[in-house]
Structure 1
């Protein structure tokens, strides 16, 4: 008998629609039921590609006895964390407060029916005691008993708990704002201490790619101090090479998995997330622009091609995730037994594949091989072009044909505005760096989808699934979309996109900005009342929405000459000063935003289509990540007055702008390059 999730559009909620648990969505009716019945809320948060979410669903939520305990003692609410990042953020912090360690998914909490304050929080639990964990039955019974015995004490629990979480929001800084370059150096030094000099990356397993920190190091590569530049280059190049040749990257089909379970990047957690691939597409693009390493180009192309072929819908929006599991086994779609390989490949092709992927000794994943490039390969000079490695290319093609006949991992076809903004940014950057019209077309289609389906004229919506648009947008939706559209304008100017970016910015300021203290709340001013309201500044798996808003507003303000955008950006970054001083590497996106404000430059180039070519060729050598260049045809209509007034001379004219100030017109590419070199020293 289906429960109340049966009418949901979320693929994750629909996975639980047939459970014997009387699941409810998070809505007014479900919350009112908890108050009316005086039952605590069992809040369970996960997402469709989550392996351990699937495990707990099979083991616990399909169990009739466990379901009866849940139904008798709780109002059970299921939440898709990708649809409701507001709830997920709040209750991940709550988990950390209660357990003194980071959380994860599935996230299971017991909340008071009034105020929604947690009095218990955990992640995965087995049906019987296992892995040094209690059974879920025991957890449920103890939590229900605790609520019965402490009902009155818990009545005001939400007030103190909300205050504890909101205390983590930034406050006005206590001292002078730190120097941007000192902050950058501090972040670089911290990352150097965490750097894995043997395998690349940072920290211990599980190892995540941390693209925002790599982007920060890319800025460090431009330092005039040779020692800093060399250190940053070494960390970036080595990490990107190791990830490119590892099992973190799908060596057959393209695209990155979410993280590696080991230090060597050999075996991933096999889910593929749009947000990881969007950020890494951008990171590899700026790295290829600087270092020209051939394997980076392959990674960009195979990632972008995979996104377009598998993650972009016919209407243009990008889907969210690919599951880690197929046929109830993690990674089954991607791995190969030696028997399977020998059965489909002639011996010469098998030998070439064996050499390229190092298929010697014991298989690396549960009796099968998950492909990593041979560790003896020189990744910096590797050229895998079919003309150079015909047998290897044939082997890969054959295996892809076979793999395409396997049962595919499930697709979560939600189209999330925030993640689409990230992918538009990455795809537009790749289109520009590699001069790939297909990538440009992909980003254009995604912007059009957002404008047609997720933009209401006075607000962005957060999610569209199967044509149904739901949920008011969050800060990330506005900030990431703004940056994506700006990157698109730098790749291909379209005045309609500029006006869309301006309108998105205006609504973001109206609905999210704290006009008294600065910065932006994650949820809008008219959002439903939750336990508390957050103003996050640090990066996690995705960049900080506040940092992205600051960068987007500053760049748009410089482009259009609007001082309001610049003032809001400066006020916001001032708010996070103390947080930046404490942990600059954790706030990598915020450090990048500060570098943009101090060292960044915007070039506005007005020239006709014939004249543009000479300027573009000269500017192709401009590789500083803090320089934005916008090519606007001399006859472009529909421009704001500040841009329309920048009239070109014959041959074309460029303007270098910082903040609301633009320099004297520059009328030759050579003079422009000389001026830009001075700007970024």
Structure 2
């Protein structure tokens, strides 16, 4: 902050602050990303900014030290012009964000039209070899699979079976490639943030709570449609990882695990993926007579296996190391070893358990034990839905580590305990407002739109799949407060922030479903669900609001 101080903002704790300056950088430079660097005047107006700057000049890009010198020089010589420019940009952004929509030319079938266009666009970017939509880096983006599954159901209702099966093939192939890839933690469960290559192999090893909840729900949805236990097993894998590693004593669900960790106790620095990668020798020493079977199944090589793509390890950071990936179906490998599928998978499960025990003795990545309401909402939803959906599995189903194979009712208990934590620790019963996050007490940041919308969705799932009326009543109460704090009664839709903090210069409405669904899309779904639950008078109110939003 020029002329004042340097400040770092945690974008997870203060997404409202992050959104203001990300909007500024995206508007000026055509795109943004993290880490985000913005230089501000003492009155918090942005002067200039960008994404990542290397420490020193490199690859034709100025380093951060060079940037600092240039910014100081500009501040010393052109201060008035810089401040005036910052004020003008913020006012222009404010005007653009408050512009009213013109509905005169919107066709009646707008929803059908745009869903079709979205599905066509996704289908055109589908990777038939490795699954997923688009190229590297590949993110597991559940919102994409969700809209494809929605379109699958519409095709089936219209008896357009060929079109339906084509879409389902894209989704199932994508989910299978993700689960077989290194982006999936085969030893401990759960999914890493994204794959740096096109084949879902070498990931950025961070694990985020918002990914786990959404990905689990997509696998649950696919299981409901296909009846294939492969998808229910992956959903259990994710939820059992959360239960094992990411839940506190009072039921709160933590935010993330870092990508970096020390290679050994006392190592001078941390390295990405150290906790998760293996040498061939480590696997041989741990697994003994089953090492060869395991190595063949997970493509483990003495030279390291990060060679499937030129993008997997361009700087040879993982030379001699292996990121586990399944390249051939288990049934084929079982036949090769002359074993039944059950016996083969049993051996793999025992091997993963042994490696898990060895891995548990390594220095762990840092656990971000911050509790974020919106992300807990996404996870609560998955646990609540799993508690009923997974009851439909055939009796006597076998489970292999890291899947625990618990009674699905235990998932409902996890969901209810997490919801109760939020109600007790992050909800003010007198004002009926939420706090955004908790760590050793509630943070000062108020609840944002995502916190209300994602939690309401979770409470509706708790009510629908668990049956307790208290969750529905709380959802209704929170919807009232959400409308009071965030609803734009003239322009339609919801702002991200309550607009009560003058230091947050813009009230933004988010309509983009990215790594997380937008608060507005989740709010629309919530109101459709609420309108279907209540009688005519109350139902009409929800319908009016959702139609205005859409």
**Which residue does 1:334 correspond to in 2?**
276
- 448, 456, 459: which is aligned to 2:420? 448
Q: 2:248, 2:340 → 1: CA distance?
A: 30
Q: Establish whether residue 142 from structure 1 lines up as the match of residue 70 from structure 2.
A: yes
- Structure 1 counterpart of 2:34: 104
What is the count of residue pairs matched by the alignment? Answer: 500
- State the Cα deviation string for residues 638-662 of structure 1 (Å, max 9, x = none): xxxxxxxxxxxxxxxxxxxxxxxxx
Q: Distance in 1 between matches of 2:197 and 2:11?
A: 26
- Tell me how far apart the structure 1 counterparts of residues 319 and 546 of structure 2 sit (CA, whole Å): 50
Residue 537 of structure 1 and its aligned partner are, at CA, apart by 0.7
Q: 2:298 aligns with which of 357, 370, 373?
A: 357
Correspondence 1:366 to 2:343: no
In the alignment, which residue of structure 1 is the partner of 2:347?
A: 391
TM-score (norm 2): 0.87
Partner residue in 2 for 1:76 = 6
* Higher normalized strand content (fraction of residues): 1
Does structure 2 retain, via aligned residues, the 8 Å contact 1:169–1:535? no
CA deviation map 1:560-582 (0-9, x unaligned): 23122221111001xxxxxxxxx
1:110 is paired with a residue whose SS is strand
Equivalent residues of 1:333, 1:408 under 8 A apart: yes
* Separation (CA, whole Å) in 2 of partners of 1:439 and 1:367: 39
Map Cα deviations across residues 262-296 of structure 1 (whole Å, 9 max, x no partner): 00000000000000111001111111111122321
Which position in structure 2 is the counterpart of 1:516? 490
- Cα 1:551/1:385, change in 2 over 3 Å: farther
Out of 132, 135, 139, the position equivalent to 1:208 is 139
TM-score (norm 1): 0.70
How far off its partner does 1:100 sit? 2.4
Question: Given that residues 195 and 203 in structure 1 are in contact (C-alpha distance below 8 angstroms), is that contact kept between their aligned partners in structure 2?
Answer: yes
Contact residue 330 and residue 341 of structure 2 kept, 8 A: no
- Correspondence for 1:250 among 185, 206, 210: 185
Contact 1:422 1:480 in 2 (8 A): yes
CA gap of 1:134–1:475, structure 2 versus 1, over 3 A, is same
- Give, in angstroms, the shift of residue 361 of structure 1: 7.1
Per the TM alignment, residue 248 of structure 1 is displaced from its structure 2 partner at its CA by: 0.8
- The equivalent position to 2:360 in structure 1, one of 393, 401, 404, is 404
Give the structure 2 partner of residue 646 of structure 1.
Answer: none
Task: Say if 1:386 and 1:81 are closer, same or farther in 2 by CA, change over 3 A.
Answer: farther
Contact map agreement 1:108 1:123 (CA 8 A) in 2? yes
Q: Report SS of the residue matched to 1:479.
A: helix
Partner of residue 473 from structure 2, selected from 499, 515, 540: 499
User: After the TM superposition, which residues 288-307 of structure 1 pair with which residues of structure 2 at under 5 Å, given as runs?
Assistant: 288-307=223-242
Q: Is the 8 A contact 1:386 1:393 kept in 2?
A: no
Structure 1 residue 171 displacement after superposition: 3.4
- Give the distance between the partners of 1:488 and 1:384, measured in 2 at CA: 39
Structure 1 unaligned regions, length at least 5: 1-40, 43-72, 574-681
Select 1:279's aligned residue among 208, 211, 214: 214
The answer to whether the Cα contact below 8 Å between 1:317 and 1:415 also exists between their aligned partners in 2 is yes
Q: In the alignment, what sits opposite 1:161?
A: 89
Q: 1:99 to 1:176 in 2, by over 3 A?
A: closer
- Cα deviations across residues 593-623 of structure 1 (Å, max 9, x unaligned)? xxxxxxxxxxxxxxxxxxxxxxxxxxxxxxx
Preserved contact between residue 281 and residue 302 of structure 2 (Cα < 8 Å): no
Equivalence map 1:428-467=2 (5 Å): 428-435=384-391, 436-457=408-429, 458-467=432-441
Distance between the aligned counterparts of 1:331 and 1:170, measured in 2? Answer: 46
Residue ranges of structure 2 left out of the alignment (5+ in a row): 263-269, 307-317, 392-407
Q: Would the aligned equivalents of 1:462 and 1:477 in 2 still touch at CA under 8 Å?
A: yes
2:394 alignment partner in structure 1: none
Deviation at 1:117, TM superposition (A): 2.6
Aligned partner of residue 444 in structure 2, secondary structure: strand
Q: Structure 1 pair 199/170, CA: closer, same or farther in 2 (3 Å)?
A: farther
RMSD value, Cα: 2.2
Query: Contact 1:512–1:521 (CA<8 Å) still a contact in 2?
Result: yes
Supply the distance in 1 between the matched residues of 2:93 and 2:166 (Cα, whole angstroms). 37
SS at match of 1:542: coil
